[in-house]
Structure 1
Amino acid sequence: MTTNGKREAVDGRATRWDGHKARRRAEVIDAAIAAIEEHGVEVSVRQVADRLQLPRPVVYRHFEGRADLDEQIRRRILRSLLTQLMPTLDPNGTVHDAVAKAVGAYVGWVADHPNLHRFLSDSAPQPDSALTSARNRIGGRLADLFTVGLTRFGIDPAPARPMAFGIVALADGVVNSWRADSSSTLTSEQVEAMLTESVLALFEGNARSLGVPLARDTIVSELLTRTETAALVDR
């Protein structure tokens, strides 16, 4: 076998091992999430290893330590949440419908996965953490939508970003407080209704202060069409 042939054989084996390692990492993360869902956030690596029938050192072999494992778990949880939430940030129907759909997706996910939400909430967000990245992605999407709307009305879009991230912070604050209060008797439906009304009030108040004719029963697509039409007439 030539030197090149030997190198190709070694590289091929390395590639196969890379695939195996990636699958094993995914299996560990899946097992950890299942354990958190079932037992709560205080899950040990031994519990994860037992679910996979593996020695504990094998679990650690695929991560840099417990902090790295926890961060990868958070990334997977947030990916699942964003898969459900991001499509709702493309507004359809009335303003009320659009807000209610997005709020409902978030509160519904939290209600269905209380332990996963607590696992996320118990972590202190760092500038480069998965949690910070997810919030930035959601806030950024809202900011883009608000920027488009304000620009089409000929209004300085500078308020778009703080408005968007203010809504994200409001939603986080309401839901986190609800889930942290073990004595709360509020149902997910009540929290969803309260948060929807709060976000709508912010929309209406900010729109009024900026001179945007927006109400909760405004159909989003018609609002944008009217805006574009008005801009053409003014030219």
Structure 2
Amino acid sequence: MSRVTERHAADGRSSRWDEHNARRRLDVLDAAIEAIERHGVGVTVKQIADRLGLPRPVVYRHFNGRTDLDEQIRARILEMLLAELEPALHPGGTVAEAVRHAVGTYLSWVERHPRLHHFLGTGRHHERATGSSVVSGARDAIAAQLAALFTEALAHFGKDTSFARPMAFGVIGLVDGVVNAWRSDPASVVAPAEVSSRLADSILALIESNARALGIPIHADAPVQELLRGMA
């Protein structure tokens, strides 16, 4: 066998091994999500491994320790969340309908996956995961998309766009803070539908009050696409 042939054979084996490892990592992450849904944020690596019928060391072989595993689990959870949320981030209908649809979609996911939502905000020993780069990155990406919408609307009305980004991040912070506080209060009797409604009303009030301050005739019943075209 020539050196070229040997190299190609080695490359093929390496590629197949990489694919195998990638599939195994996804299997582990999906098993971890199933385990969290069942056992909560205190899930152990053994519980994850047991779902796959693997020894615990095999799970660790694909990650750089528990911290890396937790971050990769969060990234996988966020993929699930964003797959549902993405269509709602391309608004249609009126401003009110767009806001209520986006907030409702998020609250629906949280209601169906409370333990996954909890895991996004916790660390290994249940402390707040304030240093999670994947969570902050996803939050920033959603805020940036909202900022682009605000910027487009302001630009079409000939207004200064410099406040679009802070406003967008403020809206995301409002949603994040309200939902986290609601979910973390075991004594809360507030229904998800009420949280969704109050949040949507608050966001709409924020948008309308800032629009009035800028002299922009935006109201909740205005079609989103008309606003983006700069039409009153």
TM-score by length of 2: 0.95
Q: Deviations over 1:47-84 (max 9, x none)?
A: 01111010111000011111111010000101111111
* Corresponding residue of 1:16: 16
Q: Distance in 1 between the 2:76 and 2:130 partners?
A: 16
Q: Distance in 1 between the 2:199 and 2:174 partners?
A: 8
* Corresponding residue of 2:111: 111
Unpaired runs of 5+ residues, structure 1, are 231-235
Report SS of the residue matched to 2:33: helix
Is structure 2 residue 125 aligned with structure 1 residue 125?
no
**Equivalent residues in 2 for 1:53-68 (5 A)?**
53-68=53-68
Deviation at 1:219, TM superposition (A): 1.4
Deviation at 1:91, TM superposition (A): 1.4
Report SS of the residue matched to 2:186: coil
Q: Deviations over 1:94-130 (max 9, x none)?
A: 111000000001111111100000001114233x711
Q: Contact between 2:151 and 2:164, CA under 8 Å: does it hold in 1? A: yes
Deviation at 1:39, TM superposition (A): 1.0
Aligned partner letter, 1:181: D
TM-score by length of 1: 0.94
Report SS of the residue matched to 1:14: helix
Aligned partner letter, 1:102: A
Report SS of the residue matched to 2:172: helix
* Corresponding residue of 1:39: 39
Aligned partner letter, 2:168: A
Is structure 2 residue 228 aligned with structure 1 residue 224?
yes
* Corresponding residue of 2:50: 50
Is structure 2 residue 227 aligned with structure 1 residue 201?
no
Aligned partner letter, 2:55: P
How many residues are aligned here?
227
* Corresponding residue of 1:27: 27
Q: Distance in 2 between the 1:189 and 1:41 partners?
A: 25
Q: Distance in 2 between the 1:189 and 1:42 partners?
A: 28
Question: 2:157 pairs with 153, 156, 162, which one?
Answer: 153
Report SS of the residue matched to 2:146: helix
Q: Distance in 1 between the 2:48 and 2:167 partners?
A: 41
* Corresponding residue of 1:233: none
Question: By percentage of residues, which structure has more helix?
Answer: 1
* Corresponding residue of 2:126: none
Q: Distance in 2 between the 1:224 and 1:43 partners?
A: 46
After the TM superposition, list the runs of 4 or more consecutive aligned residues in structure 1 that deviate by more than 4 angstroms.
Answer: none
Q: Deviations over 1:1-57 (max 9, x none)?
A: 111111111111111111111110000000000000111000000001111010111
* Corresponding residue of 1:179: 183
Q: Contact between 2:152 and 2:228, CA under 8 Å: does it hold in 1? A: no
Report SS of the residue matched to 1:51: helix
Q: Deviations over 1:115-163 (max 9, x none)?
A: 000001114233x711011011110001000000000000010110000
Q: Distance in 2 between the 1:39 and 1:112 partners?
A: 15
Task: Say what the alpha-carbon RMSD is for the aligned residues.
Answer: 1.2
Q: Distance in 1 between the 2:74 and 2:227 partners?
A: 38
Aligned partner letter, 2:100: A
